[in-house]
């Protein structure tokens, strides 16, 4: 059985009037898993944006055909939306909470290679992020090897403009986890735009006598279109009742320092929609999906 996640986000921060459809395929490999399970499988996502409306459909590679949709599962729940701190507010927090600060060095190199992808000129950018080891952490290194085009991304959270230009948000890192906060020291261009082909390799220091853990995430854009999108894709059907326990006790990342990591991956196999409401809460509704 495979989960089918659909995320509909009707935004409130920045207005984008261009329609867009984006299909991606992601494959994850983890050397810390047993040899027969190191390749964690993949999933495909389809993103839609129309004006300030957002939608995301996600389907694991294992669900091939024969989907069963239970149209009687008319339930929804609400939770808080993603929020992003302006850098001035983030820096103020770091100054007041220095014990949570982890200094991270990052660098982006433009290799000079060029090609045309989906009708757009693409730049080859390699970004390396490093965390030095200390008494509490073995440290590690991340490398992002990507081909970027000058095109808007899916922007699932209708993020403010600065999210697309600050290394803290654009580069990001999994080398630092809450309650720690990464303070970036970045050199080179910020890898903005849309990465149509990207490989992210994360190398984490192993314990004495053990090899480093290597996590590889490969993401490829399979289709990109700027054709008009029907508003019907973003409509919420009537007749749903509230269920505060729908999809389990998931937590949502708020973008604030020290905030919890999303646990939304703990979904039961389901066809799930989320719609941003009044700028502060997301309504999420679900119909069950299984494969046969």
**pLDDT the model gives residue 225:** 95
| Contact (CB, 8 A) for 58 and 5 | yes
Category of 50 on φ-ψ map: left (φ > 0), alpha (ψ -120 to 50) or beta: beta
Taking 60 as the threshold, does the pLDDT of residue 262 lie above it? Answer: no
Over residues 111-122, the pLDDT tens digits come to 999 999 999 999
Taking 80 as the threshold, does the pLDDT of residue 182 lie above it?
yes
Across the range 277-292, mean pLDDT stands at 52
pLDDT digits (tens, 9 = 90+) for 26-79: 999 888 765 655 555 678 888 888 877 777 777 765 443 334 444 556 777 776
% residues pLDDT > 70 (the chain)? 65
- As a whole number, mean pLDDT of residues 165-193 equals 92
189: pLDDT strictly greater than 90: yes
Average pLDDT over the chain, rounded to an integer: 75
Residue 280 has pLDDT above 60, yes or no: no
Give the pLDDT mean for 104-111: 97
What percentage of residues in the chain have a pLDDT greater than 90? 37
**Of 172-176, 218-222, 266-270, where does mean pLDDT reach its minimum?**
266-270
> Per-residue pLDDT tens for 116-157?
999 999 999 999 999 998 888 888 999 999 999 999 887 766
So what's the pLDDT on residue 14? 35
pLDDT at 3 > cutoff 60: no
More confident residue, 206 or 154: 154
pLDDT at 10 > cutoff 60: no
Please tell me the predicted confidence (pLDDT) of residue 12: 32
Q: Kindly indicate the confidence band of residue 84, based on its pLDDT and cuts at 50, 70 and 90.
A: confident
């Amino acid at each position: 059985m495979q989960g089918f996640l659909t995320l509909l986000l009707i935004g409130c921060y920045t207005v984008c009037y261009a329609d867009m459809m984006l299909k991606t395929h992601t494959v994850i490999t983890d050397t810390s898993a047993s040899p027969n399970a190191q390749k964690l499988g993949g999933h495909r996502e389809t993103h839609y944006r129309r004006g300030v409306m957002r939608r995301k459909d996600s389907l694991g590679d294992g669900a091939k055909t024969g989907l069963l949709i239970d149209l009687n599962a008319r339930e929804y729940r609400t939770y808080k939306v993603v929020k992003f701190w302006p850098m001035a507010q983030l820096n103020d927090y770091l100054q007041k909470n220095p014990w949570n600060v982890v200094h991270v060095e990052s660098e982006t190199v433009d290799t000079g290679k060029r090609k045309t992808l989906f009708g757009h000129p693409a730049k080859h950018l390699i970004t390396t992020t490093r965390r030095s080891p200390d008494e509490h952490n073995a440290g590690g290194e991340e490398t992002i090897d990507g081909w970027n085009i000058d095109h808007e991304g899916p922007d699932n959270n209708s993020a403010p403009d600065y999210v697309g230009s600050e290394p803290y948000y654009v580069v990001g890192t999994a080398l630092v986890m809450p309650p720690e906060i990464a303070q970036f020291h970045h050199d080179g261009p910020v890898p903005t735009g849309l990465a149509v082909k990207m490989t992210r390799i994360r190398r984490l220091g192993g314990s004495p006598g053990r090899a480093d853990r290597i996590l590889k995430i490969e993401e490829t854009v399979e289709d990109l279109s700027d054709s008009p999108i029907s508003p019907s894709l973003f409509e919420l059907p009537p007749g749903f009742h509230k269920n505060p326990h729908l999809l389990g006790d998931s937590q949502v990342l708020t973008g604030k320092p020290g905030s919890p990591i999303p646990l939304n991956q703990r979904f039961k196999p389901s066809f799930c929609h989320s719609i941003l409401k009044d700028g502060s809460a997301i309504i999420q509704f679900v119909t069950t999906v299984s494969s046969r």
